[in-house]
Structure 1
Amino acid sequence: MKKVSIVAKPHGDRVKQVLEDVCQFLGDKGVEVLLEENSAGVIGAGSVSHERIKEESDLVVVLGGDGTLISAVRILGEKETPILGVNLGRLGFLTETKIEEALPQLGLVLDGDFETEKRMKLHCHLVENGVKTLEIEVLNDVVINKSDLARIIEMEVYVNDYFVNSYRADGLIISTPTGSTAYNLAAGGPIVHPSSETIILAPICPHALTNRPIVISDDSFINIRLRSKEENVSITYDGQIARQVDPEKIITIKKARTGVRLVVPKNRNYYSLLREKLGWGW
């Protein structure tokens, strides 16, 4: 690996020291470091454009939490460049490498001694009068929710053009297996192994006890039609990008053409991660 990009969260007590250590480590190995703009500002160094990170990186190192990693995924777009996530946040379902393991793990990756796990993404776009708009890909989830308090959204959900259900709820979460431990979990949805090829539909506080989360195959395409003509409804992508959406538009979601490659530590597995992060019995 000749060029390694670093995407770090721009604040936090430990970020500066860890970032300096990683840059020094890579420099000693003769690796060119490409610093994302916010990351460069932490240590007062020069930065490169997102386009260079996308096109030139052999590896992306993320220093932060899951939100920082999702930002890196968005920079890479359709590129499946391996991502090594070092957890400087709290839960860290995506950034699995612990801070004290960062340099040894990075050394293994540079030596080619590493494994990656591919995660699926979702492709979402809006359709109005047959025209696609606002095309975005997400690693975790797409969330449709109300913008007004004390209001309920009414929506119809179709899978492969088959009518599934009419929901009256605070919202609806459309999640990947990776995102199953994010908002989906908080809303009562199932935990799904991240290597699974499925899509999860989980209503948020549905106004009917019989409305339950449903898991569908990854080759499905989903159309959502809003029936709430006078309510303010927003759509949120990976918890980082939000847009207002009006009833004339159809929300369409399907599996993205490309995915994300995460470097996974060899000494842990997903079930040990769940035990650690969720406090399950040992």
Structure 2
Amino acid sequence: MPKIIGLVVNRTKPNAVQVTQQIVKAIGACSGQVFIEEEAAHALGMSEYALSTSDFHGKVDLIFVLGGDGTLLGAARHFACFEIPMLGINIGHLGFLSEAEPDNLEESVQRVLNGDFYLERRMMIETVVMRNGTCVHRNIALNDVGVGKSSFARMIQLGVYVDNQFYDEYFGDGVLVSTPTGSTAYSLSCGGPVVVPNLQVMLVTPICAHKLVVRPIVIGATQQIRIKVAARHRDFGLTVDGQVGFPLESGDEVIVSKAACDTVLIRWQERAFFSILQEKLRGD
């Protein structure tokens, strides 16, 4: 059973200090050991627990991520290659990816240290930007990769290919390539379908395409998506999980495929995907 916990903390959240202190106390009460990412530990006045995130691999059994969905997405990209299991603890807004809440911290810590959970693997995608035959950017995403124009720019032209076969051409704001996890994020707002997280597929969702008939598509995870970018202006780029940006140039090709690593999430047996979907996204 896991005994050494690493904490990743979003220090901008109002209750970050209080929740971190509660978790450290709860882990100690269960005879566990805790480390806190170095910068957060110093900022929160808990330097005795500091450990660089580069040293988490090999020293922690799993990671508690304190924040919202954005914090967990960043942690997923950072730690995915090590596949360290992560528990999201929601001290943010939506917390769709989180499994625990601040009002049940002690219970959550006890469950984890007693092994009362299961692990859920979430597919990730890798994106490569090719410019004149050279790779100029590479990244991975848990939610999505977007190719789009900036706020006040004119439309861009995007040619979409699946396994080197031409699929469609879009004039509009852009296009998203999403994982099943990302199907409940930006893609959902653009009219994409909800996909259960254990499927091995990718979604291609146009963003405000200037067409009478346009539909998102779902393809297999073993396939490759290639997006050719064209525009008369330079005000467009690539976004990864809505957090990492990279400027694109006309003629660039964005290639998206299944990543070699997965995000591993800690889950409770009694919480089902569709109940979470109703709880978080029904809009009541």
Scaled by the length of structure 1, what TM-score is found?
0.94
How far, CA to CA, are the matches of 2:129 and 2:217 in structure 1? 22
Is 1:182 aligned with 2:185?
yes
Q: Deviation at 1:233?
A: 1.3
* Contact 2:130-2:136 at 8 Å conserved across structures: yes
Q: Deviation at 1:207?
A: 0.1
Letter in 2 for 1:65: G
Measured against aligned partners, the alpha-carbon deviations of 1:1-49 in whole angstroms (never above 9, x if no partner) come to 2421101111223221110011112223333322113431452122221
1:128 aligned to which of 127, 131, 150: 131
2:162 aligned to which of 151, 159, 162: 159
How far, CA to CA, are the matches of 1:109 and 1:174 in structure 2? 33
Q: Which runs of 5+ in 1 are unaligned?
A: none
* Contact 1:117-1:263 at 8 Å conserved across structures: yes
**What residue in structure 2 maps to residue 232 of structure 1?**
235
Q: How many residues align?
A: 281
1:77 aligned to which of 73, 77, 80: 80
Scaled by the length of structure 2, what TM-score is found?
0.93
Measured against aligned partners, the alpha-carbon deviations of 1:113-153 in whole angstroms (never above 9, x if no partner) come to 21111100000111123322321010000011112515101
Distance verdict in 2 for CA 1:168–1:55, change over 3 Å: farther
Letter in 2 for 1:68: T
Which secondary structure does the structure 2 equivalent of 1:56 belong to?
A: coil
Q: Which structure 2 residues correspond to residues 12-51 of structure 1 after superposition, within 5 A? A: 12-46=13-47, 47-51=50-54
Q: Deviation at 1:55?
A: 3.9
Kindly report the root-mean-square deviation, in angstroms, between the aligned alpha carbons of the 2 structures.
Answer: 1.7
How far, CA to CA, are the matches of 1:280 and 1:127 in structure 2? 40
How far, CA to CA, are the matches of 2:199 and 2:22 in structure 1? 35
Letter in 1 for 2:221: D
* Contact 1:84-1:95 at 8 Å conserved across structures: yes
Which secondary structure does the structure 2 equivalent of 1:242 belong to?
A: strand
Q: Deviation at 1:267?
A: 2.0
How far, CA to CA, are the matches of 1:99 and 1:184 in structure 2? 29
2:199 aligned to which of 196, 199, 202: 196
Q: Deviation at 1:229?
A: 4.0
> Once the two structures are aligned, what percentage of the paired residues are identical?
36
Measured against aligned partners, the alpha-carbon deviations of 1:163-196 in whole angstroms (never above 9, x if no partner) come to 0001101111111010111111111111111111
* Contact 1:172-1:202 at 8 Å conserved across structures: yes
Which secondary structure does the structure 1 equivalent of 2:168 belong to?
A: strand
Letter in 1 for 2:244: I
**What residue in structure 1 maps to residue 56 of structure 2?**
53
How far, CA to CA, are the matches of 1:168 and 1:54 in structure 2? 44
1:208 aligned to which of 199, 211, 236: 211
| More displaced stretch, 53-62 vs 37-46 | 37-46
Letter in 2 for 1:115: Y
* Contact 1:157-1:165 at 8 Å conserved across structures: yes
1:276 aligned to which of 255, 275, 279: 279
**What residue in structure 1 maps to residue 100 of structure 2?**
97
**What residue in structure 1 maps to residue 252 of structure 2?**
249
1:267 aligned to which of 265, 270, 282: 270
How far, CA to CA, are the matches of 2:97 and 2:39 in structure 1? 20
* Contact 2:142-2:241 at 8 Å conserved across structures: yes
Which secondary structure does the structure 2 equivalent of 1:77 belong to?
A: helix
Q: Deviation at 1:248?
A: 3.2
